[in-house]
Every structure is written in C-alpha cells, then in structure tokens.
Amino acid sequence: MAHVRTDDRGSLLDRALEASVVGSFSRIGIVLRRRTQRWPELADAGRGLSALVTGGNSGIGLATAAGLLARGVRVVITTRDEAKGAQARATLLDLVAPVGGPLDRTEVGARLVTASLDLDRLGSVRALAERIDTLGPIDVLVHNAGAMFAERSMTEDGLERTWQVHGVAPFLLTMLLVPHLTMRPDARVVWVSSGGMYTERLVVRRVDSPGGYRPSVAYARAKRAQVELARELHRRLGGSTGIAFHAMHPGWARTPGLRTSLPTFARIVGPLLRSPAEGADTILHLALTARSGADDDPLAGGRFWADRSPRTTDRLSRTVADDAERAALWDRLVADAGVVPPGTTA
Ligand SMILES: NC(=O)c1ccc[n+]([C@@H]2O[C@H](COP(=O)([O-])OP(=O)(O)OC[C@H]3O[C@@H](n4cnc5c(N)ncnc54)[C@H](OP(=O)(O)O)[C@@H]3O)[C@@H](O)[C@H]2O)c1
C-alpha cells in the first residue's frame, strides 16, 4: 500500500477544500490549510519597509495595517475623512501596542500615518499621490478599499461608482505611485478582490453595468476586472519596473462591510466566517514573503491568490477572458482615469 507523505496530505486536502466553495472560503479553509501545510510565521520581515493600505480603518484593511505595523512596517492608511483616520489610529495603537504590552507605543505610533482618500473622487486620488511625494518610497501598495452599492449611481467624475471605486480610481493611484514603487527593488501591489468574481467574465463594455444594475453582479464584475488587471499590469509593467502585481481573495470575513452589504449571508454563515485577521493573512504573505528569484516564482506577480497559494482564476469555462479583452480593459482604464501610464507617451 502506498504511503501518503504529510506534505502530500496537505496538498490533497488543499485541493479537496478548493473544490468546495464553503470549505475553501470559510474559516474551515484557512484553519485546515494553516495546520496541514505548516505555514511559517510571518516574522518581522517588514522592518524598514513602507506600505500604503487603502480603506485601512475597517475590517480587512484595519487587520492588514495591524499585521504590517506589528512586523515593523511603516504604514500609511487611507480613510475617507480625518475623523475616521484619528479613530483608526487610536484603534491600531491599542491593537498593536497596548499600554503595558511588548511593543513600544511611541515607536509604533511614529510608523503609522493617516491620509485622506475618497475613491469616489479622482481628484482625491491625485491629491493623495501629491502628498505621497513627501513620504518617500512605497514597497507595498494594498488596494483594499471597496464596497457593494445597493443602487447604481454616478460619481462627480461621470463614472459608474462600483467601476470607479474598484477599477478606475485604484488604477489611477497605481499609475501615479509607480515612481515611488520603483524607488527600491521588490515592490508589491496587492488587489483585494473577491471570490465572487468567479461568477463573472470580463466583458469591458459591461464593467460599468450600462444595462440593468444588480449590486452583486456589478460588484463581481468589478472584482473580476481587478483580477484580470493584476495579470495585465504584470504583463505590461512587471518586467520593466520589477513590481510584483498580485490579486487575491480573502475568503468570507466578519467585517462591517460584509454585515452591511450581505446581512442575511453574514448571519447564516455566522461562526464559519473568518476573522478580519484571517482575511488579511494572504495580503500579509504577499507583502512580506521574500521572492526566491527563480523564473517560476509565483511571488514575481501576475497570479491570483487565496490562503497563501496561487489559485485558478476560472472555475467555469464561460468566464475565461482572452488577451484582447484584457488589452481592452487597459485602454478603458487609461481613458477613464485620464492618465498616461509609465513608459508610454501621451
Ligand atoms: N469581508 C469579506 O468577506 C470580503 C470578501 C471578499 C472581498 N472583500 C473585499 O475586502 C475589502 C475590504 O472589505 P471589508 O469586508 O473589510 O469591508 P469594510 O469593513 O467595509 O472596509 C472597507 C473599507 O473600504 C473603504 N471604502 C469603501 N468605499 C470607499 C471609497 N469610495 N473611497 C475610499 N474608501 C472606501 C471603507 O471606508 P469607510 O469606513 O469610510 O466606509 C473601509 O475603510 C473590500 O475590497 C471587499 O470588497 C471582503
């Protein structure tokens, strides 16, 4: 009888979990994978690094910022207004460096910066990028901010809101921050997508829901666009800039956003929801794990991740997009963001 090695057991179980959505996306997935794959601790690999986390005042973004701060990273969190920034700062200090705890509160506080960003306004994205000019290099950019909107609406920039918040505005921010991301080697950009994207194919003429609007469909299309965009960014800019562009999904995590947008789902799945920190785990893995330098190193970028492993981008054959559609996505983003990508001319 053939023996199954412990490592093989981990990968067999991983495949079994991946085949079932509940097993993979719920808390069960991360708990079993962590145990059977013997995940290493993400030690203080972040000392000296700088990160920018959008939507860092709540849920997965707050947990990401806490995880980075605890590992020595200098973190800029963005919030929609100053009051939320002040509140998030106090929450993060209490989480990461409680009074009487092992970490020095003053030192952690000095590594935490809050900045204002409202993705509903492209002017706010440009203002943040200008402010970042004073902040120096960025090693890690986490596009975490996002939401599901009950109704279709247009922003002051004349774009459909779900598309702008998840696509156009973070794309613009990425383009404007490329000079900061290339100041040091080994920068990473992480798009926090959603497993919901598995239901939708990238069709660029539909990304802004020009026909009927259904919140979950608009959201899934925008999240699909993020995954295809990470791949396209890797193809166009990965080699010339050295930046690793990743997309990931956090699984189902108990956050204010989930409770607001899908209250019934949050109630039913209840105890099987991940904690925000479990939702943030793969973001931290992508932010902090050293690249091997090998040609086939998945940490070089262009992949879609969950629970610390690259995953398929398509569970259904009908969602597979081709290179032409990804190129059309790029053109649409460039036009809607009104930006000239690095390495091209106006
Ligand atoms: N929780 C899950 O199970 C789950 C599953 C899959 C994917 N995700 C994704 O994970 C990310 C974090 O979600 P979460 O569950 O942690 O939700 P959350 O607790 O609501 O946090 C979302 C963050 O995004 C910010 N945000 C929303 N719209 C924004 C805008 N127009 N401009 C600037 N910031 C904006 C929010 O700011 P305010 O506090 O001001 O609203 C908040 O800081 C999102 O991209 C979400 O789609 C979550």
227 lines ligand 1 (CB under 6 A): no
Q: What is the pLDDT of residue 343?
A: 79
Mutate to test the pocket of ligand 1, among 157, 224, 258, 305 (most ligand atoms within 8 A of CB): 258
- pLDDT greater at residue 2 or residue 264: 264
Q: Which residues are catalytic?
A: 219
- 8 Cα–ligand 1 center, Å: 36
Q: Where are the beta strands (DSSP E) in the chain?
A: 50-53, 74-79, 112-116, 140-143, 188-192, 244-248, 304-306, 309-311
Burial (CB count <10 Å: 0-12, 13-18, 19+), residue 285? buried
Confidence of residue 4 (pLDDT cuts 50, 70, 90): very low
In whole angstroms, what is the distance from residue 320 CA to residue 248 CA? 17
Nearest CA to ligand 1 atom 27: 146
The answer, yes or no, to whether residue 295 has pLDDT greater than 50, is yes
- 73 Cα–ligand 1 center, Å: 22
29 lines ligand 1 (CB under 6 A): no
Distances in Å between the alpha carbon of 115 and those of 77, 275, 303?
6, 25, 29
Name which of 11-15, 25-29, 117-121, 323-327 the model is least confident about. Answer: 11-15
As a whole number of Å, the end-to-end CA separation of the chain is 66
DSSP notation for 250-304: --SB--HHHHHH-HHHHHHHGGGSBPHHHHHHHHHHHHHSPP---TT-GGGS--E
Mean pLDDT of 234-253: 97
- 55 Cα–ligand 1 center, Å: 6
In whole angstroms, what is the distance from residue 111 CA to residue 126 CA? 23
Is 174 within 8 Å of 132 (Cβ atoms)?
Answer: no
Q: What is the pLDDT of residue 223?
A: 98
Query: What's the distance, CA 34 to chain centroid?
Result: 20
Mean pLDDT of 279-294: 94
- pLDDT greater at residue 344 or residue 68: 68
Q: What is the pLDDT of residue 346?
A: 61
Q: What is the pTM of this model?
A: 0.96
The answer, yes or no, to whether residue 7 has pLDDT greater than 80, is no
In whole angstroms, what is the distance from residue 298 CA to residue 61 CA? 23
Confidence of residue 314 (pLDDT cuts 50, 70, 90): very high
Mean pLDDT of 312-339: 96
Nearest CA to ligand 1 atom 40: 80
The answer, yes or no, to whether residue 192 has pLDDT greater than 90, is yes
In whole angstroms, what is the distance from residue 245 CA to residue 237 CA? 9
Atom of ligand 1 nearest to the CA of 257: 20
In whole angstroms, what is the distance from residue 172 CA to residue 61 CA? 20
Nearest CA to ligand 1 atom 35: 145
115 lines ligand 1 (CB under 6 A): no
Nearest CA to ligand 1 atom 5: 252
